[in-house]
Amino acid sequence: MGGPVEDEDREHREEALAEALVAEALEPYTRLLAAELLDEVRHCLLDKLLVHPDGRRMLRRALPDPVVGSSGEVARRGAAGQASEEAERRRGGGEGKT
């Protein structure tokens, strides 16, 4: 799981993508619909993409994969990570081993 900065960056990218997709989808209707109705449709589509779980999944799939800055171990959080570290120590692979 990413930190707060990574989460904010991901959310910003998702919002930007959603806005671009909605603008592209509504472009053919800009001359056909009243501005008020167009804004309402835009709001509904953005809400579907940014709030509903299905819409968020679609956005995440459409985003490029994150760039990894370096390789290495990933810190595990929570009870699952602690249990995994304890199991590794019992097998003799804990800290201090090379």
User: pLDDT digit string (tens) for 31-75?
Assistant: 999 999 999 999 999 999 999 999 999 998 988 876 767 777 766
Q: Which residue has the higher pLDDT, 55 or 80?
A: 55
Map out the domains of the chain as residue ranges: 1-64
List of residues 6+ apart from 24 with CB closer than 8 A? none
Q: Which helix (H) or strand (E) holds 74?
A: none
* Calpha distance 21→61 (Å, rounded): 13
Structure confidence at residue 8 as a pLDDT band (50, 70, 90): confident
Which pTM value belongs to this model?
A: 0.60
Q: How confident is the model at residue 21 (pLDDT cuts 50, 70, 90)?
A: very high
